[in-house]
Structure 1
Amino acid sequence: MTTPISDQPSPGTAQLLPATGRALLQRLATAQKEGRTPSMVAAVFREGETVWHGARTSVSGHAPDEQVQYRIGSITKTFTAVLVMRLRDEGLLDLGDPLDKHLPGTGAGNVTIAELLAHTGGLAAESPAPWWERTPGSLRPTLGDVLGEAPFRHPTGRRHHYSNPGFTLLGALVEQLRGAPWEEVLRREVLEPLGLHRTSGRPQHPHAGGWAVHPWADVMLPEPLEDLGLMAPAGQLWSTTGDLARFGLFLLEGDDRVLGVESLREMRAPSAPAETADVTAGAAYGLGLQVQDRDGRVLVGHSGSLPGFLASLLFSVEDRLGAVVLTNCTSGVPISEVAGDLVRIVAEAEPPIPEPWRLLSDVDPAVLELAGPWYWGTQAVALRLTGDGALELGPLTGRARSARFRANDDGTWTGLNGYYAGEILRAVRRPDGSVSHLDLGSFVFTREPYDKEAPVPGGVDPQGWRPLPM
């Protein structure tokens, strides 16, 4: 009998402590047994490489590894979103454009591209019957067939309502602007540059079969494996833990051949108004990516399901690590919970070692002059120049607004996060060149609280500071 791969040393496992590897295997094995699934494979990636692979199977002598394909369902949507963001970065579209500007005649043309990416367009969750995931895509040969006669369920832009037809429209948009089929564009612009050679629209050997496990008996039956046709951009892809780990690393770190860090950061930011239940569960949605708070850790990624398969790809930006879990059963496995647990196990057992503190290699004296304490009214804050050349604004005491700023070519700075995201920080200088104050989105920051020499909005009482009258 062949020893299951999960009990053999696997590539990358040695990079984790033995106790960590065993804890990962224990969680995977428990999930496979309790979920009653024919097989389950997983990978953990961190800091630029895959560090662990594992697998469990109910078939003696069968050992699926990181090269065995499983269907990944809606993780496909993240691939489609990357293609759309590439079009945006090339200037071929704006996320605020209505779909009709680039793909007229769909019947849903007032929805913006950003709303489609964030599932806020108000479109139906599914295409008209019969259910598209278990029937041939040939039953829906046109976008009109995918959308149906009444494609909307909610007012556009008012709420998050997950929509598979919405990503069919995004796939059609990609085809329209690239002049080539969605899968061909995906392979040329994402899969090949990232080396994802085991990711494809149709299964390639070796691949797992999809199964439905009886809920009250340990027996199963095969699920149909349909080509989804026009719905492919919403859920067609097959992939492996090896490929998805590499894709997860790309989503964490970026790759200028495909998509830069700033665009990926934009995709990861929550952009959809969440339902009450989602807020309670700590869940939100970005642009083609799900965002969730799991035990105080923000995890980004996507889950996927099609009859016979469940999939999850999750990563923590702060911990610089993530996990992939794939299985071949229709239901019964809390797949994203398992992936989140794998991330937690590594993060708690082996927290990332910070990069060494380093000096700036070069600094502009005019920028260095901005560092130090400032006051917004009476609130004390500090501005720091960091080793990567950014500016960080934060409170000296207590809790207050914080932000990072990147330099612009004109000497101003743009906020990257929090309340000041997108706002412009500008140093206002006196005629002699010295700094008078900072202007941040109309807020005036001065070196002294309510500095009379600076243009504080509303002015400063000419009598100055004084004690409480007796």
Structure 2
Amino acid sequence: MSGSDAAALREELRRLCVRHRVPGAQLAVHHAGVTVTVEHGVRSLADGDPVTALTAFPVGSVTKVFTAVLTLVLIEDGELGLDEPLAAHLPGFGVGEKVTVRQLLSHTAGLASAVAEPEPGAAYTRSHWLREHTREGDLVHSPGTVFSYSNAGYVVAGALVEKVTGMDWREAVGAIVLEPLGIEPSFVTGRPAASARPVAAGHTVRHGRDRIVAVPEQALHPVEDPDGGLAVSAADLVAFAGLLADAGRAAAPLGPATVAEMCRDQLGGVRAGPAGMADGWGLGLARYTDGAGRDRYGHDGTLDGVSCHLRFDPADGTAVALTTNANTGAQLWDELSEHLAGAGLPAGNGTGTAALFAAPEAPPPDDCLGTYVNGPTTLTVERASDGLLRLASEGSPAYALTCRTGGFSLHDLDGGPALFVGRFLCDAATGRTDGLQFSGRLACRVRQADG
């Protein structure tokens, strides 16, 4: 890429940060053997320090790709089998006789989406969590039957890495994946590790209130490090993607056959796929199909007031990463994707997700009102006094719900663009609504005893 390309990317990033009120961002693009990184803005509105190429951003669920790679390294080393039950390796894993590594990494293990956490600061390990929250009754669905995005599944994968390697997950991800790339990680949970890298703070943009509110600290508990605790830069993310795209070279942690399996869609035969998230799912990697029918791979990550995105094409090694420190970074990514896709770069959220966002409004299912449950998360679909539908979650603000052909979209109550999409699921035998998917997370309908 030329200097003029970098200048154009920098100006586009600046324009979109202003438009979407994002305090700071990084954009890294690797194409034709050259990496270009551009930055804009500040790490935090509280101190005004500028974002640089070295600034680490909390990358949320992009961490899962690193945990997937760690787990697959153990499979390549012969320590684990991709399809063997995990009971022998994790005695504290209550459903270990039924669940495999493949199911954990492809979000088909049946575990809850959210992780039931102790109070912040409580002494609590992943082993404690396994014993308390992975029993038969904790399953949302039978393993291997449905895609349901699960943070809990990656907590289990992290515990598995620790059990087999004898290292803490942070030590393992550093020694096996990050240090060979020269990446110095930071983490957003618990006691910060010794690191000279500055970390960007999150910010929440309040639509309709002309406010940007800083997030003092991330609320994630250390037990969730393997599913969302990592902080790195956009340049680090494209370097990591480069190892996957160029599997087999000396520094790559995985061989070509394993990376091919990571990218292969694992969801054939399941009842419901990742509606509203991607077009398919491999082992730790989402699959996104663009308008020309090309498959790209990657992951998105959000935490309080941050939004990060990674896409790469294993065929030619092209990679794109965006890190932002505002909740509106997701909308910035949507708009930036049009610019990147026009240049032939991997971007976007897949054709299926785009179709749901753009679908025309439609009447809601007659029986969609009610309560839906996924582990510790309870969702309620209700009709408000103005006659419009709301989706409410315990302890969280409600969203306005608009039904569309094939699904629904969710908006902040005080306005702004559609933030998420999902769909209601219908029981094939009864024709009744028996679940909903909200950003790929399955919540099962709770019916009254007489229902």
State the TM bucket, normalised to the shorter chain. Answer: 0.5 to 0.7
Shift in alpha-carbon separation, 1:213–1:128, aligned structure 2, 3 A? same
Structure 1 residue 49, shift from structure 2 partner:
3.8
> Which residue type is aligned with residue 260 of structure 1?
G
Partner of 1:174, secondary structure, is helix
The answer to whether residue 270 in structure 2 is matched with residue 285 in structure 1 is no
* Residue among 213, 217, 242 paired with 1:221: 213
Change (3 A) 1:65 1:79: same
Deviation by residue 1:105-156 (Cα, 9 ceiling, x = unmatched): 31121111100010011111112367x9xx5574675323454783211111
Q: How far has the Cα of 1:337 moved from its partner? A: 3.0
Q: 2:101 aligns with which of 106, 113, 121?
A: 113
In the other structure, the counterpart of 1:191 is 178
The one of 42, 45, 58 aligned to 1:71: 58
For 1:304, the equivalent position in structure 2 comes to 301
Conserved 8 A contact 1:290-1:301:
yes
Q: Aligned pairs, how many?
A: 331
Give CA-to-partner distance per residue, 1:305-344, whole Å, 9 cap, x none: 1112111111123453111111112346336535644642
One-letter code aligned to 1:29: R
Letter in 2 for 1:172: A
* Mapped pair 1:128 → 2:120: no
Query: How far did residue 55 of structure 1 move?
Result: 2.4
| TM superposition shift of 1:253 | 1.1
Superposed CA RMSD? 3.0
Contact map agreement 1:294 1:340 (CA 8 A) in 2: no
CA–CA separation in structure 2 for the residues paired with 1:46 and 1:105: 45
How has the CA–CA distance of structure 1 residues 348 and 68 changed in structure 2, closer, same or farther, with 3 Å as cutoff? closer
Structure 1-normalised TM-score?
0.64
Contact 1:323 / 1:339 at 8 angstroms: preserved in 2?
no
Match of 1:268 in 2: 263
Structure 2 CA distance for partners of 1:293 and 1:117, relative to 1, 3 Å: same
Amino acid at match of 2:108: T
Q: Percent identity?
A: 29
Matched with 2:235 is 242
* CA-CA distance at 1:221 after TM superposition: 2.6
Aligned partner of 1:253: which letter? D
For 2:257 and 2:147, locate their aligned partners in 1 and report how far apart those are by CA, in whole Å.
24
* 1:276-425 map, 5 Å: 278=274, 283-296=279-292, 297-331=294-328, 333-334=330-331, 336-337=333-334, 340-341=337-338, 343-347=340-344
| C-alpha distance in structure 1 between counterparts of 2:29 and 2:60, whole Å | 20
- Please tell me whether the aligned partners of residues 128 and 148 of structure 1 are also in contact (alpha carbons under 8 angstroms): no
Distance 1:128 1:150, change over 3 A: farther
The verdict on how the C-alpha distance between 1:216 and 1:279 changes in structure 2, with shifts beyond 3 A counting, is closer
The equivalent residue for 2:87 is 100
Contact 1:303–1:312 (Cα < 8 Å) also in 2: yes
| Alignment check: 8 A CA contact 2:307 2:329 kept | no
Gaps in structure 1 of 5+ consecutive residues: 1-14, 350-470
Measured against aligned partners, the alpha-carbon deviations of 1:174-220 in whole angstroms (never above 9, x if no partner) come to 00000111111111111111211245564744221122222222323
1:251 counterpart residue number: 244
CA contact (8 A) 2:280 2:286 kept: yes
Q: Which has the larger radius of gyration?
A: 1
CA distance in 1, matches of 2:288, 2:175: 31
CA distance 1:183–1:62, change in 2 (3 Å): closer
Q: Secondary structure at the match of 2:167?
A: coil
Q: Which residue of 2 aligns with 1:382?
A: none
Aligned residues of 1:299 and 1:340 also touching (Cα < 8 A) = no
1:211 to 203, 207, 210: 203
Aligned to 1:42: 27
Deviations 1:229-280 (A, max 9, x none): 2211000001012211211211211244421222112111111247767479
Distance in 2 (CA, whole Å) between partners of 1:77 and 1:160 is: 16
CA contact (8 A) 1:118 1:285 kept: yes
Label 1:332 to 1:55 Cα distance change in 2 as closer, same or farther (>3 A).
closer
Write the mapping of 1:440-455 to structure 2, written as runs, cut at 5 A. none
Distance in 2 between the 1:333 and 1:113 partners? 30
In the aligned structure 1, how far is the partner of 2:95 from the partner of 2:72?
A: 20
What is the CA–CA distance in structure 1 between the aligned matches of 2:229 and 2:315, rounded to whole Å? Answer: 31
Distance 1:95 1:335 in 2: 37
The 1:180/1:62 distance shift into structure 2, 3 A limit, reads closer
Rounded Cα–Cα distance in structure 2 between residues aligned with 1:65 and 1:50: 15
Letter aligned with residue 34 of structure 1: R
Please say if residues 20 and 332 of structure 2, whose CA atoms lie closer than 8 Å, have aligned partners that are also in contact.
no
Please tell me whether the aligned partners of residues 41 and 56 of structure 1 are also in contact (alpha carbons under 8 angstroms).
no
- Could you tell me which runs of 5 or more consecutive residues in structure 2 were left unpaired when the two chains were aligned: 347-451
What one-letter code is carried by the residue in structure 1 that aligns with 2:26?
V
Conservation of the 8 A alpha-carbon contact between 2:301 and 2:308:
yes
The offset of 1:48, in angstroms, is 3.8
Q: Distance in 1 between matches of 2:213 and 2:2?
A: 38
